[in-house]
């Protein structure tokens, strides 16, 4: 019986991929074990359980989201930066619904928790976008929360297939970006 050569990172990556494919709620230890070519109990050599797995997937997701959003914003400012960030975020959520779902509801245990660190990086990327607008210091937090709510809400609704009707979803999202941009410029 040759070793599978697993390590926590490989297990987590496979778990995240599987969550994207079958949905986080259908991600089972048995399914993941099968995917990585190992018997179920062997997974416990790398992650301490389902909760731990979920946490690690969440950290991975936040890191990737932060990279995506942060990278997309590079070199842009104002409306272009806003559009790039929003698009990158939504693309990430829609393409990786399972791992993004893992980030919802997990709470960092403290300021040193990687979960907190990566979460801050995502916020940092959006904060960078806001710096391109003339926003009063007192409005910054609120604007950040607005942006976050908008992106999170739209992306999760789309990922959950929550938009049934007529209008084109991409078009709605672009409309949303324009709406937010006008509002932010008017502050």
* Contact between 182 and its own copies per CB under 8 A: yes
* Contact between 160 and its own copies per CB under 8 A: yes
Say how far apart CA 121 and CA 8 lie, in whole Å.
Answer: 23
Say how far apart CA 187 and CA 173 lie, in whole Å.
Answer: 21
* Contact between 165 and its own copies per CB under 8 A: yes
Q: How many residues bind DNA (CB under 7 A)?
A: 22
* 130 closest CA partner among 174, 54, 172, 77: 77
* Contact between 152 and its own copies per CB under 8 A: yes
* Contact between 67 and its own copies per CB under 8 A: no
CB atoms under 10 Å from CB of 165, counted, come to 4
Footprint of DNA on residues 49-108 (CB under 7 A)? Answer: 49-51
Cβ contact 137:81 at 8 Å: no
Residue 139 structure tokens = 């409005």
The interface partner of residue 182, options being DNA, its own copies, none and the CB cut-off 5 to 8 Å by kind, is its own copies
Cβ contact 158:96 at 8 Å: no
The residues binding DNA (CB under 7 A) are: 1-7, 28-30, 38-42, 44-46, 48-51
The residues binding its own copies (CB under 8 A) are: 25, 104-105, 107-108, 116, 139, 141-143, 145-146, 148-154, 156-157, 160-167, 171-172, 175-176, 179-180, 182-183, 186
């Amino acid at each position: 019986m040759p070793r599978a050569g697993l390590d926590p990172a490989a297990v987590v990556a496979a778990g995240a991929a599987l969550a994207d494919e079958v949905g986080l709620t259908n991600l089972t230890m048995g399914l993941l074990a099968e995917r990585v070519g190992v018997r179920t109990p062997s997974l416990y050599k790398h992650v301490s359980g389902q909760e731990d797995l979920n946490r690690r997937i969440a950290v991975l997701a936040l890191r990737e989201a932060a990279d995506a959003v942060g990278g997309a914003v590079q070199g842009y400012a104002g409306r272009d930066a806003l559009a790039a960030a929003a698009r990158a975020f939504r693309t990430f959520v829609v393409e990786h619904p399972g791992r993004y779902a893992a980030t919802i509801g997990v709470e960092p245990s403290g300021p040193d928790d990687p979960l907190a660190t990566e979460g801050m990086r995502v916020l940092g990327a959006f904060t960078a976008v806001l710096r391109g607008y003339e926003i009063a210091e007192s409005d910054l937090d609120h604007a950040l929360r607005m942006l976050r709510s908008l992106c999170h809400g739209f992306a999760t609704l789309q990922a959950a297939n929550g938009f049934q009707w007529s209008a084109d979803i991409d078009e709605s999202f672009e409309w949303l970006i324009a709406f937010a941009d006008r509002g932010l410029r008017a502050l």
